[in-house]
Structure 1
């Protein structure tokens, strides 16, 4: 073996040894990481077994803090069914039920609710259709949990026809409007660059409005319910969705970059080229359209959830006017999907897939909301939708940059995101969503 071969072998062996940590060092590192966790678990166990040494007198003489909230009300002939959840630190027991100054007989699935536990209370009461009622649940310590029924009406029975109606409702407010909006594809393809810039601005405005709308709606749902964090759940859902989509996009970029480097070579240094610092690289149009469809789909999931739950408790009156309002409001979402595809139009199959990704979650949301409604879940999912559409709006911003100076189609300087055209588009998008949203007030 020549000296050069020996040096190469030594270098390779040394590099391999630096890349692969020794098993002993790896075990020591894991022990160092798990050691504090084991110590914390031991201390918590001792603290629990000893019942908190020195803390026994802290709660002496302090009355229990009872905090509970009514999450759902269902009306059936001769009965009022309430779902109550304990959102406080102390157990809660319901001793009496008062319906409009009348103490009614009742049964409950749980005599005492521990923190975060729920109980279903069935009250025997012959309510009258259309009349308002005030309900007070009296606890064993004399506290009151209040609920109001503005106008009594029977809750729909959950059978095959009910779930079929919920699926049809999801199609009406999700799938069909998005598909109608995607019919603007030929118009977008034949539009000059300045019009495409305007439509991209409209898309950003639509998504920004959806993000704020979903956030406010989620916070309203849990404004009086802090069982699992209240409004913080909306923000948590938004950040989770934003980070997940950002991470997925970064992974897809890295994978695509590795594939290109493997096909063309990485150059003399062996390192693929990266965009300059501070420069945001625009996504490929088809991937951006997919992200928009996913973001809108997550938003429609939360919207369907809210619609289904509202109908299940009798607070949503379905009618042709309301369905038409939803259709007009959500049609613009289809435009948002096809606008990035102005220069790279896909086939009909891909367009249909994008439409289903964006619209069909409304069906699942309506079914879930009508079956297992829980305010905290609804708020979290609305937050997820808000974070998703916000992330997509950020990804569209690089496409809003003005064309090169001197172009006949546009005179804006290259690199500017907020030009007169794109700014007008963003404002127009938000105004359109606001105006059409007035048609679906429930």
Structure 2
């Protein structure tokens, strides 16, 4: 075996250019495979961690998935709101540490508008417990202040001090023009750092601001002949009458099921409410929208198949050039079994070197491109040693490469001695 390893090394060095191209193909395939696997896991982790540290999401009774879609992902619409009195009753619960009221319904050029208060910027967390962070400016201080998510500011080219006008209701980009609150423009006072969550695509205003822009509206339309100037809104009671949902943080997570049951039973509330555990609802939601994960798995499999096909094709093509070399080895005493093992060693060596080069290549790319991916796409990928799951995947790839090497090895095994020594005309 030691002699075969030495022969394989010298033979590979004599064909270093050809084998170098093969190694590059395997390295690129491994890089794509490992990169797609990391993106797949990051997408799932990012989806599941769109909100963290929140023990319950409370809202009017509907389906848990619909409540999560609207309150966390700003998708769809609420079937009903919950009263402000219920939100205050919930905040006074001895088991509750903090609450974040959320009110949705308006938009700005296709982006949802979220009305909340200062607790949102203090207690909302995402990912592995990361707090919201301002890239520029300050949080809400006046009625008509607004804080923009990173994507909103980037796509619409907003800067601090710019004025924006909100629209009544929700509509996507390119949808028919909605009625606007043009008489009460907002000033951009802050821009949040990228989070890779729906926060990036949200325009944030205060709960009092949501009331202020609707003082002279009724039934989704401005009241004819009534106009309240922006400078006069503070003379009115801007306490909200209803909100969409409340994010709840408990003093002890052990109390989560008790508080959830109390809310479902209506203890202390004058309206039917429901409380959803974010982790459970997000897992259910991923089961519905996780078809993208299956698509990435399919792409990963195709990448491996293409890489292995290239390896087999390259080794088979090289056999025609190596007929005389293999025949000479046979003439000096090498058995067909030795030739078979030699070809297998060569294929395994190329696979191992290619996979290792792929891991190093991916690490280098992540060091260079990682900040760009996080800033523009919200995908946080860091250079790190492969996880146990990734190591199993790479080991399976190497094993598949070894199996693929058996075909050229069998072809060389069946070559006769005269096949390489007899000149062909």
Same fold (TM over 0.5): no
Normalised by the length of structure 2, the TM-score is 0.27
Normalised by the length of structure 1, the TM-score is 0.26
Higher RCO (C-alpha 8 Å, min separation 6):
2
Higher helix share: 1
